[in-house]
């Protein structure tokens, strides 16, 4: 198979879909890999390292998209990339379609087979290709919050850890999934005053066993969330419904009641965000202030630590890339229902129920295609 790796074009996105090590593995199995020049240069993965691994260097994204049978990316394709996709091509990347009708329509119009990292599942029912970036984003969310709490960055002027005689920052974490637990780990390490919400009692029990009275755990209840958010210095939005739009747990009225200079970090912004006041931002312009509250809503947070993120992501995605290359899309999807759960669009048809529900579109389950 001919596999293409274009350079990412999203704002300040320096991750890359395959490492030289991945390229070497694919080439040794007889596949051809086309890598756009400069795709990994910003994170120390030189064109020469890709060439030495067996890749063919390509000057433009247009040529990569034209020649490749499978495109392996990191972030959702931008409009100009969607326009270059073609029928019978495989796209394997993050998609986050639920809050993005334009991208959904563009992918359907392309005729390509589009598989989303974020909905591929594991035998344990987890999301193995989302987890590495959720770990990174969860840890980064506390770094971002600590930075933007500083008065010079528009915040309240609170030190996350406090000092002897002065209280630490109060942090509310909404969601105890991978993002929430990683945010929690960092916040505990910094000595913050933390509470975390979730609807999974077993997760809350695990957190209680691990951290004891250093963390307060709450079952997600709208009244309790409102009370805790009003008193918080920082609120981390870490709620995920796989493939679906994130639930908006914090309303504009709740944000109005927060302290002036408090910080919200909406890690769920890729799926629409869990704050009513959220809108996507970029690393170039990461925050905005609304109702006196600093909003950090960067849609590709792990891109800021792009080298770490690239290796963490490709460690997880490479076995699936290998399976798609060795077997072809239809066979790989037919024999692996976990990979099949990642199929969002196939030959112009939407195959994701959560996306269809979010956008009120018709859909056909992937199983129906293979049954036919």
As given in the structure block, the two tokens for residue 95 are: 């998609």
DSSP 8-class letter at 163: B
Start-to-end CA distance of the chain, whole Å, equals: 25
DSSP 8-class letter at 41: G
Is 266 a residue of the active site? no
User: Phi/psi of residue 90, each to 5°?
Assistant: -100, 135
User: Phi/psi of residue 280, each to 5°?
Assistant: -60, 140
Distance CA 101, CA 218 (A): 34
DSSP string, 242-286: TTSPPP--B-HHHHHTSPTT-EEEEGGGGGT-SBTT---B-SSS-
283 burial class (0-12, 13-18, 19+ CB within 10 angstroms)?
middle
Q: Which residues contact 163 (CB under 8 A, 6 or more apart)?
A: none
> In Å, how far are 95, 192, 267, 333, 340 from 120, measured between CA atoms?
12, 34, 20, 11, 7
Handedness of CA 256, 258, 264, 270 (dihedral sign): negative
Degrees to nearest 5, angle at CA 204 with 198 and 208:
145
Distance CA 56, CA 35 (A): 6
Q: Which of 100, 270, 295, 346 is catalytic?
A: 270
Contact 65, 36 (CB under 8 A): no
Secondary structure element (H or E) that encloses residue 82, with its range:
helix 79-82
β-strand pairing of 263-266 with 293-296: parallel
Is 338 a residue of the active site? no
Residues designated as active site: 96, 270
């Amino acid at each position: 198979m001919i596999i293409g790796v274009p350079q990412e074009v999203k704002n300040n996105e320096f991750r890359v879909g395959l490492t030289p090590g991945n390229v070497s593995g694919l080439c040794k199995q007889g596949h051809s890999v086309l890598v756009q020049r400069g795709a990994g240069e910003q994170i120390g993965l030189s064109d020469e390292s890709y060439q030495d691994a067996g890749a063919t260097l390509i000057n433009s994204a247009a040529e990569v998209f034209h020649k490749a049978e499978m495109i392996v990316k990191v972030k959702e394709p931008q409009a100009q990339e969607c326009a270059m996709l073609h029928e019978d091509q495989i796209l394997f990347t993050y998609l986050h379609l639920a809050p993005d009708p334009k991208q959904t329509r563009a992918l359907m119009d392309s005729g390509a087979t589009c598989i989303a990292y974020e909905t591929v599942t594991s035998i344990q029912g987890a999301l193995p290709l989302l987890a590495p970036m959720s770990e990174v984003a969860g840890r980064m969310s506390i770094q971002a919050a600590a930075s933007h709490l500083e008065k010079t960055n528009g915040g309240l002027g609170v030190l996350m850890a406090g000092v002897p005689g002065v209280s630490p920052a109060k942090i509310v974490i909404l969601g105890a999934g991978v993002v929430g637990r990683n945010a929690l780990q960092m916040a505990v390490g910094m000595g913050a005053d933390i509470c975390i919400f979730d609807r999974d009692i077993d997760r809350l029990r695990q957190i209680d066993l691990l951290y004891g009275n250093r963390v307060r755990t709450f079952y997600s209840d709208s009244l309790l969330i409102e009370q805790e958010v009003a008193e918080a210095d920082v609120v981390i939005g870490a709620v995920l419904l796989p493939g679906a739009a994130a639930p908006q747990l914090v309303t504009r009225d709740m944000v109005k009641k927060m302290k002036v200079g408090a910080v919200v970090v909406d890690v769920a912004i890729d799926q629409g965000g869990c704050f009513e006041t959220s809108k996507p931002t970029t690393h170039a312009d990461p925050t905005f202030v609304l109702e006196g509250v600093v909003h950090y809503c960067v849609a590709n947070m792990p891109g800021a630590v792009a080298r770490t993120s690239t290796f963490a992501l490709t460690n997880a995605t490479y076995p699936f890339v290998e399976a798609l290359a060795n077997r072809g899309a239809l066979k790989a999807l037919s024999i692996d229902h976990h990979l099949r759960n990642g199929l969002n669009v196939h030959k112009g048809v939407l195959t994701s129920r959560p996306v269809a529900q979010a956008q009120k579109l018709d859909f056909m389950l992937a199983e129906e295609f293979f049954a036919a």
